[in-house]
Structure 1
Amino acid sequence: MRIGLVFGSKADKVPVAIDMHSVDINSNKNIKQNASQCVPPSTGYSPLSIFIHDEGGYTTVAMAVALLVSLVLVFGAASAAWSTSRASEVQEVADATALAGANAVSGFTTVAQVSDAIVLSMGLAGLATIGTGLILSALPITHAAAIETINVGRSILDLRRNFAKSAATGLQKLEKALPALVMANAASCTSANSTQQLRYVGTAIPFPLTSETDYSFLDDGLSGEELENNAKKLQDASERKKDAMERADAAKEKAWRADCVDNPHCMRSRAQTLAGLSGAHNPNYASFKEWRFDYARIRSLNYYRTRAASEHPHGSSAEELTRSAARKQFYRFAAREMEKAKCIEKSDYVEMQLPELPHTAAMVRATSLYTDSIWPCTDEEEGRTLHSSLACLGATGSYSGTASLADIDSGAVRCCPKCGMNVQAQASAASASTNINNGYEHYWRIVVEASRDYLGAKNDEIAAEKELEGISEESDDLFQKAMDILAVERPDFVPAGAWGCVAVVMRDAGSVTPAELTGAFSPGAKLPAGAAISAATLAPEDSSGGSTVLSQLLSGIESQAGFGVAGIAQSALALWGKLLVDYGSAFEAAQSHVDGFLNDAGWLMGEKVAQSIKKMISSTVKSAGFEPADMRARKPVLVHSQEVLDKAGDGREQFGIVREIVQKLPNSGDAAAQVLAREVASQLGGPIFTVAEIEIPGTGVKIPLTIDVSKYLGGG
């Protein structure tokens, strides 16, 4: 290459040629000239005169040389910068490789968290549904709904158990393939960064290399069978209670009708007609719900007191005197019996002692009417004689005190042949009014008989209530036991790569400096082989990513479930959805969601046991203390490789493992990725892997929870 230059003064310009590569730029002919031929004749010649003008300035030659040197330096520096840049790119590729490996671990962690969310939320939803069934089981009128509700709750727990088992199997299988998945994704990333000039090979090694996760929490044995059995006991006891209540109501209504409803008469109307009772002494009650047995007792007390006070003979015959005397004694006796009678009704205690008034001789003999010495006697020629009254025509002898009807039967006194006062006469005082439907005693007898039926039914009801309370306490213990199973500490997933992934990337030698940077000013060069190490681990993102994942999951479930869910199953599914979405940072709202579900049966809360069960369920859920699960997405971040190796144990030993694995990789990045991809596909059975299936309660619809690992397999 030859460049023509002019040296000398303005008046003495001599063309001079400087030989660079012995090539004439104009003629391309070789020019061989002696250096002396280029020197102008001068008597005061200096070697520097070609660079410094005699007038003190730089010559054109000096400027050309400076320019050439600068160009050489510029192109040399550019070539060096290119080489340095290409040499440092291996570190960038190593960083990307480490992040790619950790990204596969992040995907697995998300799947594991979602599975745990499904298991816990389904367990709580199932228990809350069975708990509602327990409440309904304690209510006699809602047994059909209770059975349906419990069946839905059991089905949820059964589906949960099936999902948990399949999820445990699926996650363990996926986790077993995770090391190969990590390395395949990392190797694919390394290969993707290769060019025709620069080829990279490498991968990322997860630490720990094998899983340390305990999946026993997914198979906790929660079935709800014991709660279902208790619900059946509650139903049996509440059925007995219902039957007892119905019998009690029937007996009470029967007594109320005898007391207040004419058919053709009743105690109220007969008391008004026979004794003239009215107003507060003889009230009417419009419904048996507001009526009490004691009201009939008080009415009867008023009636018999009034009848006893107003009783008198309606004639002077001995027979009429006897009937009147017998009636008077009967009324007095009945009034005393009404005073002693008891009608106590409490929620847990009923005592009913209403007297059965005597209307036969046998019944009279069983009362004080037979044994009380209340009848006047006289001494007659035939012996001491008992009369109904001293006004009796047969009472001609002297008065000799009183005697009882029992004395007649024992022979201590004789029955007056005129008045005929004896047991049969006393029994006849109430016989007719008891045995015909226009007598007061006829309706009183109905009340007494009904009171006995009522007492038996109420005792059965109280016994059933106590049994319900006992079963409720058992249910409390069983529910607490079930909640304890659910409320265990949430699992700590430690899959392969949980501590981090260490990447090693190697670069082949042979990359040549681009021609644009070499040639005239700089010689070409080849990059030597190189290697770099990097590491990445997972760090939680401060975002709602976890809740978003669960919300999207629920939306998918609801869309596939369609309109096949109704009734209690629909309510249970809605509860599960709320619990699932709030599994993350807002899971402390579990109690409010469960309370809302239980309150749907609020109009049925009148029963004591039902209220107790509801309160128990609510307080148990609250006391379970569910810790909000950390559902934040795990994002890969770069860290110092020594941090990951130190977590795994002896850093040098772990680094030796890394070196051994990397050395076994094929020389080609694509080949390494393909080998690892085939290993993943072999372990998972393909790029699309089903971890578990979620069955929607009440529909039979099964939704597979699948993951597509093809993006981690790159070109493989």
Structure 2
Amino acid sequence: MAVALLVSLSLLFSATQVYRINTLSAEVQEVADAAALAAENQVAEFMIAVRVVDGAVLSMTLLGITSYGLGVVGLCVPPAAELGAKLISAGQKILDARDAFAERAAQSLNELQRALPFMAAASAAAVAAANGHDRAGGYHAMALLLPAEGEAIAVGANGAEDNLTEAVEEEKDGLAEAAERAEEATRRAQEAKERAYRRDCGDSPSYCMYERAGHLAGLTGGANPMHHSVDTWSFTVARDRALAYYQARLLGERPASDAGEEKARSALRKDFYAYAIAQLRACELHETPTSLEGSLPRFPRNLDELRGTSLYTT
């Protein structure tokens, strides 16, 4: 009986001790996990700082390149050429500031990375101590980061951007000059169109093709349209009006008298009208709001010019 009692008491105390040990182990494990998370939190905060810096560098890069792009576009538009040059200069300053910021940030992050193992260990020890204030002797934790040293943070090469800046700097003067030439060509083309418009119908009721077609050929309506603005007029309108005019003149041509000389003059006029009609029909114009392909025939105005046409040679 005594032996059984001793065995029972031994088992009871053993179970109690096992329970106590398991309880303490669980508490220690919880503190260890908290200490490990505290150490990892330092690493996480470091990575957040790295990503913030990376985002700032990327934003400055995009801003600088965008400024460069807008500057190049501005150089292609003469009225905005001065603004384009300023945008290019601003883009270069932004990229230079980006490079300086990236170098300083990389240096600071490397220093912070070297201190990271100590910061992680200190954070883990602080969390362990805070969780052991009601325990005799408290808790002591030590966290080790593996690997102990991280890869150095370095600023990469800017080969593509350097090529971009060099290309822009080399070509910006040429772009500005080309834009000025293009603007000058556009201005001359617009002036030529203005002159052609006035000669066709813009000078009405004064001397112009519209007035001649109505007065000499009796053309009206769609055969002799009136355009009150050069913006609605085109060279095709002038060609079609001239073709209708010469067709009407050819159909209506009659000698003014029965005199031989007058009949000869009438025959010459018919030949000229037929020649003009053939030339205008052979003329192909492809006109858009921004371009014109083709050319209108140039009719002789004197005997010397007449000798160079098929009217004289055939």
Q: State the TM-score, normalized to the length of structure 2.
A: 0.70
Q: Determine the C-alpha separation between the residues in 2 that align with 1:90 and 1:338.
A: 103
Please state how far the C-alpha of 1:178 moved relative to its aligned partner.
1.8
1:350 to 293, 300, 308: 293
Aligned to 1:258: 199
SS in structure 2 opposite 1:174? helix
Aligned to 2:277: 335
Q: Determine the C-alpha separation between the residues in 2 that align with 1:88 and 1:368.
A: 113
Please state how far the C-alpha of 1:260 moved relative to its aligned partner.
0.5
1:363 to 291, 305, 312: 305
Aligned to 1:176: 114
8 Å contact kept, 1:308–1:328: yes
Aligned to 1:102: 40
8 Å contact kept, 1:165–1:219: no
SS in structure 2 opposite 1:359? coil
Aligned to 1:211: 150
Counterpart amino acid of residue 178 in structure 1: L
Please state how far the C-alpha of 1:254 moved relative to its aligned partner.
1.3
How has the CA–CA distance of structure 1 residues 309 and 294 changed in structure 2, closer, same or farther, with 3 Å as cutoff? same
Counterpart amino acid of residue 280 in structure 1: G
1:295 to 237, 242, 246: 237
SS in structure 1 opposite 2:311? helix
Please state how far the C-alpha of 1:237 moved relative to its aligned partner.
5.1
How has the CA–CA distance of structure 1 residues 285 and 89 changed in structure 2, closer, same or farther, with 3 Å as cutoff? closer
SS in structure 2 opposite 1:345? strand
How has the CA–CA distance of structure 1 residues 304 and 96 changed in structure 2, closer, same or farther, with 3 Å as cutoff? closer
Pairwise CA RMSD? 4.3
- Asked which structure has the greater CA Rg, the reply is 1
Q: State the TM-score, normalized to the length of structure 1.
A: 0.34
Q: Determine the C-alpha separation between the residues in 2 that align with 1:144 and 1:349.
A: 30
How has the CA–CA distance of structure 1 residues 237 and 279 changed in structure 2, closer, same or farther, with 3 Å as cutoff? same
Aligned to 1:305: 247
Aligned to 1:111: 49
How has the CA–CA distance of structure 1 residues 351 and 299 changed in structure 2, closer, same or farther, with 3 Å as cutoff? same
Q: Determine the C-alpha separation between the residues in 1 that align with 2:310 and 2:30.
A: 115
How has the CA–CA distance of structure 1 residues 327 and 207 changed in structure 2, closer, same or farther, with 3 Å as cutoff? same
Q: Determine the C-alpha separation between the residues in 2 that align with 1:316 and 1:212.
A: 109
Pick the structure with more helix per residue: 2
How has the CA–CA distance of structure 1 residues 319 and 117 changed in structure 2, closer, same or farther, with 3 Å as cutoff? same
Q: Determine the C-alpha separation between the residues in 1 that align with 2:93 and 2:253.
A: 74
Q: Determine the C-alpha separation between the residues in 2 that align with 1:223 and 1:251.
A: 44
Please state how far the C-alpha of 1:269 moved relative to its aligned partner.
0.4
Please state how far the C-alpha of 1:207 moved relative to its aligned partner.
1.9
Counterpart amino acid of residue 248 in structure 1: A
Please state how far the C-alpha of 1:361 moved relative to its aligned partner.
2.4
SS in structure 2 opposite 1:211? coil
Counterpart amino acid of residue 242 in structure 2: S
Q: Determine the C-alpha separation between the residues in 2 that align with 1:179 and 1:189.
A: 16
Q: Determine the C-alpha separation between the residues in 2 that align with 1:292 and 1:96.
A: 83
Q: Determine the C-alpha separation between the residues in 2 that align with 1:243 and 1:335.
A: 34
Counterpart amino acid of residue 192 in structure 2: A
8 Å contact kept, 1:154–1:223: no
Identity across matched positions, percent: 37
Counterpart amino acid of residue 194 in structure 2: E
Q: Which residues of 2 match residues 608-623 of structure 1 at below 5 A?
A: none
Structure showing greater relative contact order (alpha-carbon pairs closer than 8 Å, 6 or more residues apart): 1
Q: Determine the C-alpha separation between the residues in 1 that align with 2:255 and 2:31.
A: 127
Aligned to 1:249: 190
Counterpart amino acid of residue 244 in structure 2: N
Deviations 1:455-494 (Å, cap 9, x if unpaired)? xxxxxxxxxxxxxxxxxxxxxxxxxxxxxxxxxxxxxxxx
1:120 correspondence with 2:62: no
Aligned to 2:11: none
How has the CA–CA distance of structure 1 residues 169 and 330 changed in structure 2, closer, same or farther, with 3 Å as cutoff? same
8 Å contact kept, 1:93–1:190: yes
Q: Determine the C-alpha separation between the residues in 2 that align with 1:139 and 1:303.
A: 42
Q: Determine the C-alpha separation between the residues in 1 that align with 2:39 and 2:255.
A: 116
Counterpart amino acid of residue 219 in structure 1: G
Q: Determine the C-alpha separation between the residues in 2 that align with 1:268 and 1:88.
A: 105
Q: Determine the C-alpha separation between the residues in 1 that align with 2:118 and 2:133.
A: 21
8 Å contact kept, 1:119–1:164: yes
Please state how far the C-alpha of 1:271 moved relative to its aligned partner.
1.6
Q: Determine the C-alpha separation between the residues in 1 that align with 2:24 and 2:242.
A: 116
Deviations 1:512-531 (Å, cap 9, x if unpaired)? xxxxxxxxxxxxxxxxxxxx
Q: Determine the C-alpha separation between the residues in 2 that align with 1:89 and 1:337.
A: 105
Please state how far the C-alpha of 1:258 moved relative to its aligned partner.
0.5
SS in structure 1 opposite 2:294? strand
Q: Determine the C-alpha separation between the residues in 2 that align with 1:234 and 1:316.
A: 68
Q: Determine the C-alpha separation between the residues in 1 that align with 2:49 and 2:143.
A: 21
8 Å contact kept, 2:60–2:95: yes
Structure 2: gaps (5+ residues): 1-15
How has the CA–CA distance of structure 1 residues 254 and 198 changed in structure 2, closer, same or farther, with 3 Å as cutoff? same
Deviations 1:563-610 (Å, cap 9, x if unpaired)? xxxxxxxxxxxxxxxxxxxxxxxxxxxxxxxxxxxxxxxxxxxxxxxx
8 Å contact kept, 1:260–1:269: yes
Counterpart amino acid of residue 366 in structure 1: G
Counterpart amino acid of residue 331 in structure 1: Y
Please state how far the C-alpha of 1:100 moved relative to its aligned partner.
4.2
8 Å contact kept, 2:72–2:168: no
Aligned to 2:6: none
Counterpart amino acid of residue 150 in structure 2: S
8 Å contact kept, 2:201–2:211: yes
Q: Determine the C-alpha separation between the residues in 1 that align with 2:309 and 2:37.
A: 102
Please state how far the C-alpha of 1:297 moved relative to its aligned partner.
2.0
SS in structure 2 opposite 1:366? coil
Counterpart amino acid of residue 207 in structure 1: L
